[in-house]
Amino acid sequence: MALVIVGGSTRNIGKTSVVAGLIAALREREWTAIKITQYGHGICSANGKDCDCATADHSVAFTEERDRSGVSDSSRYLVAGAKRSLWVRTQQGELFEAMPRLRREIAEGGNVIVESNSLLQFIQPDLFLSVLDPAVEDFKGSARRYLDRADLILMARRGGTEVAWQRSLEGILRRSKVLYFDPEKYVSDDLVRFVDDKMSAGQSG
């Protein structure tokens, strides 16, 4: 069984599309999919809404997705063919509070795919993919911190577009394995083969 983590430079750059696309392309792996969201101050982890709470009851929440409408990210995982889909919420910087249960879910989940950067602080996956888009200036600290651990960087092809972070990360990008993708087509045959081969090698080793 394998743990695959999909992270990325920031929000809304296709991480969920990569996760859902891999689930659909490798459905025989019978995935357990996990979405991790960390909320900032004043947002309740239980429901993602404005909240003045400061109690431990509101710091961590796990939801098993049942909806197959494809509206939420965790619902998209089910639509793609995941056997199981979980949405985990914590306060920003407090993912450690969720780790005991997360470790159990991962250990018992078979092949697990997680959308998160921050989980890398606690767990070494079998495969880590990082999604980058040079059309987007924002680059989260957690993504920058773990980029050199990526087995594969997925870079949106933007026809010469370059932002500041590309120059600052030039060394890492040059040393890393990078696979370019066309925007709106996040999962290529090459990516599917790469993930499938890595998982098969790990399970036979």
Structurally, the chain folds into a number of domains equal to 1
Q: What is the average pLDDT across 164-170?
A: 85
pLDDT of residue 85: 98
pLDDT of residue 202: 77
pLDDT of residue 184: 81
State the DSSP code for 99: H
| Three-point CA angle 36, 39, 44, nearest 5° | 110
Helices (H), 30-180: 73-80, 99-108, 141-146, 164-168, 170-175
- Of the chain, the percentage scoring pLDDT greater than 90 comes to 73
Pick 52 or 78 by higher pLDDT. Answer: 78
- Domain boundaries, position 37: 3-204
pLDDT of residue 161: 66
Pick 183 or 138 by higher pLDDT. Answer: 138
Q: Per-residue pLDDT tens for 103-122?
A: 999 999 999 999 999 999 99
3-state helix, strand, coil in the chain (%, to 5): 40, 25, 40
Q: Per-residue pLDDT tens for 120-143?
A: 999 999 999 999 998 899 999 889
Confidence at 167, pLDDT banded by 50, 70, 90: confident
Pick 67 or 48 by higher pLDDT. Answer: 67
Evaluate whether 39 touches 89 at the Cβ level (below 8 Å): yes
CA distance linking residue 156 with residue 54, whole number of Å: 40
Confidence at 52, pLDDT banded by 50, 70, 90: very low
Q: Per-residue pLDDT tens for 74-111?
A: 999 999 999 999 999 999 889 999 999 999 999 999 99
Residue type, 199: M
Evaluate whether 40 touches 26 at the Cβ level (below 8 Å): no
CA distance linking residue 40 with residue 34, whole number of Å: 20
pLDDT of residue 55: 40
CA distance linking residue 19 with residue 129, whole number of Å: 10
Q: What is the CATH number of the domain that holds 63?
A: 3.40.50
Residue type, 167: R
pLDDT of residue 40: 64
Q: Per-residue pLDDT tens for 5-28?
A: 999 999 999 999 999 999 999 999
pLDDT of residue 159: 77
